[in-house]
Structure 1
Amino acid sequence: MHKHTSTRHKKKIKQSAPWPYKPYVFAPKKKI
């Protein structure tokens, strides 16, 4: 089960690449 979550998370991160730098784009927009 643990491995399943890891694979699912990795696949989601690969598809949702903008999640790591999403806060970066939201931070400047919110600050402005």
Structure 2
Amino acid sequence: GATTDADLGDDDRRARPAGAWRLLREAARLDGG
């Protein structure tokens, strides 16, 4: 299951660089989303 930005709190979103989110989304997509 993919973790979307909507699933996370604003603090978590701010704490992670956009590049990290891109990698996480990429991994989630490869994992079957």
TM-score (ref. length: structure 2)? 0.47
The higher relative CO (CA closer than 8 Å, separation ≥ 6) is in: 2
- Larger Rg over CA atoms: 1
- Bigger proportion of residues as helix: 1
The normalised TM-score by structure 1 is: 0.48
